[in-house]
Amino acid sequence: MDSGEADDITQEAFLKAFENLERFRQEASLRTWLCRITTNVYLSKKRNQRKHESISLGEMKVPDRSCDPERTVIRRDFNAPLSQTAGVAQYSPGRCT
* Whether the predicted pLDDT of 24 surpasses 60: yes
Residue 82 predicted with pLDDT over 60? no
* Residue 47 pLDDT > 60: yes
Report the pLDDT value the prediction gives residue 75, as an integer from 0 to 100: 75
Confidence check: pLDDT of 87 > 60 = no
Name the pTM for this structure. Answer: 0.52
**Contact 34/23 with Cβ under 8 angstroms?**
no
Stretch 46-60: mean pLDDT: 76
Domain ranges of the chain: 3-52
Round the average pLDDT of the chain to a whole number and report it: 79
For residue 41, count CB atoms less than 10 angstroms from its CB and return exposed for 0-12, middle for 13-18, buried for 19 or more. buried
